Structure 1
Amino acid sequence: MVNEPNSPRDEEEKRLLVVLEQVSRRMRKELALLGDRREDVVGIRQEFWDDVRMNFSDSTEVGETWSSIVQQAELLAERERSHRVASEAVERLTKQFDSPYFARIDFAEKGYDAEVIYIGRASLVGEDGETFYVYDWRAPVSSLFYDHEPGPATYRVPDGEMIGELLLKRQFVIRGGQMKFMFDTSETVGDEILQAVLSEGSDTSMKSIVATIQKEQNGIIRDEKHKLLVVQGAAGSGKTSAALQRIAYLLYRYRESLAPDQIILFSPNPVFKGYISRVLPDLGEANMRQMTFRELIEARLGRRFEVEDLFSQTEALAADDGSPAGESRERSVRYKGSEHFFVTVENYLKRLEQEGVRFHPLRFRSMTIASAEEMSERFYGIQASDGFGTRAAGVRRWLLERLQSWVDSQMDEAWVEEAAESASSEDIQRAYVEVRRSGGFHDEAFEDEDHMSAIIRRRVAENAVAPLVKAVRNYRFLDAVATYRELFESRSLFAACAPDGKLPLGWEWMLQRAEETFGRKLVDHEDATPLMYVSEALEGFRRVEGDILHVFVDEAQDYSPFQAAYLRRRYPRARMTVLGDFNQAIYLQSQDSGGFGGWIRLMSPEVTSVLRLTTSYRSTEQIVDFTKAILTAEDAKGITPFNRKGEPPKVVACKDGGQLGEKIAADIEDLLGKGYGTIGVITKTAHETGNASAVLKELLPNDVSIALVTGGSAELPRGVSVLPSYLAKGIEFDAVLVWDASDDLYGKDKDRKLLYTVCTRALHVLHVYHTGEASPWLPRQGGRK
């Protein structure tokens, strides 16, 4: 079809050529600069010492030599920074040449002529520094595209509100510098654009799709009013995308006062961390700090204890399901994640302000340097109003001084003499250098040798107690475990601290369990956060990263109310954005809390906003309707599929495990032949994952790669991935094959949301297999074969 002269399409393609020429011109300049800077860096590195005047003959010459080294190092650092900036500019321009913008709006501010504005992932300014060819999607004016249809429109700027009329709203799909689609729209983002993007195959990392941000997502991204933003979103509704784009927006909006390392994102697992790692760099920003809650626990407790993780806890509970021990453990998990227990621990900490903190005595071999009683006396000798942190720091200073005095007292002891006699040649050489620097070894050497011997004795004594010094510096003299256990060893103490004065059901079992695990330096997952809280509270939250200004929590429904409250205490200055889905609350610790636990109660209602995303964009309409039917009518209420058609999900009955493996293997070959790039075979537990992986490797050709995804995996490969249900959260696959959704495995009420979570990982194809009776939660009507 030939376009008519001067048609809108012709005009837009001419304009695109102008922009691409601007990008090319900038690219040539940046490439030339990059080449120059690379040569500078290589040259300076090669000639670094040739350009430094080395002379150590006297103090003046040493100073000049040092100054010369510093100047050369500063020059190298400046050139390296310039090289890095030029390299980043080339990368950004390369992306812009592929797709410089995705939208155009014509906006007439009240009292002024209309302005034509093009919007892309990054801004593009002409060489005059004034002509804007493209505006960054995060610029205030760009919100008009996301928030308004043609007609009266407003957008906010730092100084107030701009009022006017949106005259035109046009969208583009540009790939490889070629305009593929163009159309005008009256919707936030046209269905045609969404259809095109959502029909694409999945990748092993999350995409940055700023062209498809919806109005409700844009409200999340640009919210600056609230300190606590709680987002409940259906599976596939774009929660995580909105969170990452919100981070990019904040870094753009507050670039003078907010750095990426002042933002922290808590991800559900290591696989998900790798999955989202490319989004911010694609948007032109450095990645924020990212960690799992497990990593936080490991950093705090992992060096001293073997700490159970959430996945191991889940496996253990599944193994003991239905047994008396399993039921007791379930009660403990539910209680220790509750707000009741958090308040109990807080009340206990208040009591500890007066008495009860336990201490480790400071001992060297059989000698006591400082007793637990002395530490307690010092600790409680400091005013309670000064807080735990000041008290702990005071004891720390006193212990370090005590250690130094103790070392002084040991200089003539036999153990020091023995250690000095076997001193290493390195210690002897250091002692010699120290004496020589002080003017020794010129005339009479007897005193110098005595001096050298004293230095060696002190050094070996200090080396011997160095582990104690390190322990004191790290506040290891505080016995957080004994202090925490005390709460379970006294019925009257626990009842006095409980907000209702009552012991929880199963308190005796919890006491026995604490004695068994802590005695073997094991920490159950349900004890890890309370223990970490007590430990950090006693130290005055000394390791709290007070410079963190924004905390993001993804899959927030999986956090217990205790964990939510703990994060609030740990990052007291931070604004919080928490995102999750009630219907994907698959872990026991959060199932009694309605999905979001105590998140919405962390801050006052005046600074809290609770938002809901109901449209599911990830899956086809058929898959969304199927997965909604897994839920109760109440839980499924409001979930709306986006209008993207696909094949109906299949529920496949298998007579036994052998046939199940054969059918899944055959379907994998068929799906790979059809071009599906990512296929997820999802089992319920890690034990089943190992079996499924082994079976499929036997049945499939050698050229079909089968990746076994574990809790330690950091990346999601292309092709076929076999993984347990709890590692699939937040990830999507072109096709999902559910391994044995039988009544035996998914028959209990608590399995309902887990099955829903597993099935909602599918973009285009969903096959659910089962042996024996199918899970009662699977839809009964149609689709089965």
Structure 2
Amino acid sequence: MSADPVLHAEREHLRRSRADLEAMREHTLSLTAQGSDHVSTEYLKAALYRRAKALADDPNLPLFFGRIDRTDDESDETYETFHIGRRHVMDGNGDPMVVDWRADVSRAFYRATRADPHGVTLRRRYGFAGGELTSYEDEHLLDPGEADITSRILTEEIERPRVGPMRDIVATIQPEQDEVVRASLDRTVCVQGAPGTGKTAVGLHRAAFLLHTYRERLARTGVLVIGPNQAFLHYIAQVLPTLGEVDVRQVTVAELVESVPIRGTDNPETAALKGDERLATVIRNAIWSHVQEPAETLYVTRGTRRWRVPVHEAADAIRTLRERGDGYTTARSLLGQRLAHRILLRMEAAGEITDDRVQNAVARSRPVKDYVDQLWPALDPVKLVMRLLSEPELLATAADGILGDDERQRLLWRKPARGPKTAPWSHADAVLVDEAAAALERVPGVGHVVLDEAQDLSPMELRAVGRRAATGSLTILGDIAQGTTPWATPSWPEALRHLAHDDAHPPFPPGTHRRPGPRGRPPATLEVLRKGYRVPAAVVEFAGRLLPVIAPGIAPPEPVRSNPGRLDVTRAPGGDLRAAVADAVREVAAREGSVGVIVADDAAPEVAAALDDAGPPYGQLADDARITLLPATLAKGLEYDHVVVVEPAAIVAAEPAGLRRLYVVLTRAVSSLTVVHCHPLPDALA
């Protein structure tokens, strides 16, 4: 038994909380799903399964990490104590044992200060080891005789070695981060954050907060997390489940627009052109160019009578539908009904009895269907884009006044495609297909979208993401200084403009001068995270030397960690890079924590051979190994306690945005950075 009665009492509270959580889970498992029909029964079964899965206890994670004692504003006497944890736990009487960190009462744990205590008299933090409570630390916010202290437990948690996937940060959320996390669903938040400021974690925790606060609404519409690549998604995969949210879809941008088999790649200039927002107008022009002006009268026979729709009335129906702003396919589906309604009016004027069934029958009749097919043909987005990239005539018509001759030639495939399945589709082409599909018929969206590494997306990719936000509610995360693609966004206002586009409206029909306004979108705010909690001062200073060159307007993060970290820059003795790399990896592997060995993409086989010969065991990205060898292009968004960067000059030379890539690579280190090189370092670092 602990000699400290407070520690003993808190351990007992933890034990009872775990028992109550297990009782909650057992109660959920004991429930029987019984709906009014088979479909509702299966839906209830799935809901109970997800609920039971969310209540599963991980013995390696503490159920609570903090506590607050609050006072009554009128009496100034403590009246209630709350233990703050990852999920809500209640006892058999329904009283809270642990309060979910997302609950409104928990806000004070993160926001309380001596200047503004939020009614908190005591804030307690807990130290844990392997899920066992080992220590506690108290902060008396209303005691004038107690000096401000730097929380040892908070510091140790922030600086704890980072072996394995990304962890949640519920125990260490800082006030400026909490402002973003608790932003309401009706706000779109764009977070500019330098390396180590926790922007990815903040975005994921905002998703968890919204799912808790708007549970019923988002249960219907869902939340979507979009990351740059599978390595990144693998790294963050466990954050939301540890917070009790097990039903969130996580995809890459490539998976988001997956519609054609990717067989080809574009050179940077062509990819940048295909990602240009002007291509959205080209695609819409190509689509709406298929709508023809009527030249013949429509005749429909009903019984012994023949009814007609004159050319000018058919043209008026087409013009009205184009002005509505619906997608091409939606408007096309209404044309038959509009024409049938004109016939219905003539039938009623002639004294015939009509109703909706008669109008529907006329709309489905062969003459009306053939007339619609002739004037407003059905289109397939894959075939349309294939034709646009294969047929110079269609591209010239759609891009007239938008693209120059050289640009049109650059877009065209070198060899005409024989069919959609054999066409040389690239990722940028798939994004164009997605744009065409949305122009034909609005794509379904979700209630909230979290987009990470947004600075690297092209305008067309940003439009594709924006379409998935059904209500326009997004969390956009990134760092302008880490933009490494040729089409990287120059500023967040520019990116927000593309995300908030209005994609359904056709070009102005002939003779018209108005278009419906854009869909209502929540207001967007830009939040800047300045404090660096992960990257130590020594690494920030070294990598920050690149900022005046790659992003003059971006300030480096402000390191707040007590440990300044370690920086070693080693020139390979005798020019033997392989031996120097193996030595450096062996040295850092002796330290506690994860190790990332980052190299230029084409140098990965040579470094792998060096480690195979003389280095410690290592793994690839998907292996969850303690030592990971990875190419520079996949390093974005990942973190390692110790990073070994091999030959910065090769990383810089590998791509046009090489200095930005190097900045990303250097800032993956949480505790120490080792740079090994033969060639001179870039001038900004030397």
Question: Which band: TM-score by shorter chain?
Answer: 0.7 to 0.9
1:461 matched residue in structure 2: none
Quickly say closer, same or farther: Cα 1:149–1:75, change in 2 above 3 A.
closer
User: What CA deviation, in whole Å up to 9, does each residue of 1:214-255 have, x standing for no partner?
Assistant: 111111111116442111111111111111111111111122
**Equivalent pair of 2:63/2:87 in contact (CA under 8 Å):** no
Q: CA deviation at 1:772?
A: 2.5
* Letter matched to residue 756 of structure 1: Y
2:263 matched residue in structure 1: 306
Give the SS at the match of 1:692.
helix
Distance 2:134 2:154 in 1: 16
Quickly say closer, same or farther: Cα 1:517–1:32, change in 2 above 3 A.
closer
Q: CA deviation at 1:750?
A: 2.3
Q: Is 1:230 matched up with 2:194?
A: no
Which ranges in structure 2 are unaligned for 5 or more consecutive residues?
142-146, 294-314, 337-377, 501-519
1:689 matched residue in structure 2: 604
Q: Is 1:509 matched up with 2:419?
A: no
* Letter matched to residue 135 of structure 1: V
Distance 1:521 1:581 in 2: 35
Quickly say closer, same or farther: Cα 1:255–1:771, change in 2 above 3 A.
same
Superposition pairs for residues 87-102 of structure 1, below 5 Å? 89-91=55-57, 94=59, 98-102=62-66
1:620 to 536, 542, 546: 536
Residue correspondences, number: 590
Q: Is 1:259 matched up with 2:219?
A: yes
User: What CA deviation, in whole Å up to 9, does each residue of 1:142-177 have, x standing for no partner?
Assistant: 1112223135466xxxxxxxxxx3333332224443
**Equivalent pair of 1:650/1:766 in contact (CA under 8 Å):** yes
* Letter matched to residue 23 of structure 1: S
Q: CA deviation at 1:577?
A: 1.1
Q: Is 1:586 matched up with 2:502?
A: no
Q: CA deviation at 1:83?
A: 8.0
1:524 matched residue in structure 2: 426
2:20 matched residue in structure 1: 26
Q: CA deviation at 1:518?
A: 8.7
User: What CA deviation, in whole Å up to 9, does each residue of 1:454-482 have, x standing for no partner?
Assistant: xxxxxxxxxxxxxxxxxxxx975972134
1:242 to 162, 180, 202: 202
2:570 matched residue in structure 1: 652
Which ranges in structure 1 are unaligned for 5 or more consecutive residues?
4-9, 42-66, 155-164, 314-328, 356-376, 397-473, 710-714, 781-785
Q: CA deviation at 1:391?
A: 5.8
2:93 matched residue in structure 1: 128
User: What CA deviation, in whole Å up to 9, does each residue of 1:62-92 have, x standing for no partner?
Assistant: xxxxx9xx99x99999999878756654526
* Letter matched to residue 509 of structure 1: R
Superposition pairs for residues 347-362 of structure 1, below 5 Å? 347-354=285-292
1:388 to 328, 349, 353: 328
Distance 1:292 1:32 in 2: 36
Distance 2:52 2:434 in 1: 44
**Equivalent pair of 1:220/1:246 in contact (CA under 8 Å):** yes
* Letter matched to residue 598 of structure 1: A
Give the SS at the match of 1:331.
helix
Quickly say closer, same or farther: Cα 1:505–1:559, change in 2 above 3 A.
same
**Equivalent pair of 2:70/2:120 in contact (CA under 8 Å):** yes
1:666 matched residue in structure 2: 583
Distance 1:673 1:296 in 2: 41
User: What CA deviation, in whole Å up to 9, does each residue of 1:351-391 have, x standing for no partner?
Assistant: 45558xxxxxxxxxxxxxxxxxxxxx9x9899545641236
1:219 matched residue in structure 2: 179
User: What CA deviation, in whole Å up to 9, does each residue of 1:282-310 have, x standing for no partner?
Assistant: 11221411110111233x112xx5254xx
2:106 to 138, 142, 159: 142
1:576 to 470, 474, 481: 474
2:397 matched residue in structure 1: 493
1:563 matched residue in structure 2: 461
Q: CA deviation at 1:579?
A: 0.4
Quickly say closer, same or farther: Cα 1:517–1:525, change in 2 above 3 A.
farther
1:441 matched residue in structure 2: none
**Equivalent pair of 2:539/2:567 in contact (CA under 8 Å):** yes
Q: Is 1:756 matched up with 2:671?
A: no
User: What CA deviation, in whole Å up to 9, does each residue of 1:549-570 have, x standing for no partner?
Assistant: 1111111111112211232234
Structure of greater Rg? 1
Q: Is 1:170 matched up with 2:124?
A: yes
**Equivalent pair of 2:194/2:479 in contact (CA under 8 Å):** yes
Q: CA deviation at 1:648?
A: 3.3
Give the SS at the match of 1:102.
strand
Give the SS at the match of 2:648.
coil
Please, what TM-score do these two structures have when normalized by structure 2? 0.75
Q: CA deviation at 1:137?
A: 0.7
Distance 1:88 1:250 in 2: 16
Distance 1:732 1:270 in 2: 15
Superposition pairs for residues 402-441 of structure 1, below 5 Å? none
* Letter matched to residue 150 of structure 1: R
Q: CA deviation at 1:338?
A: 2.6
2:495 matched residue in structure 1: 598
Q: CA deviation at 1:732?
A: 0.7
Percent identity of the aligned residues? 24
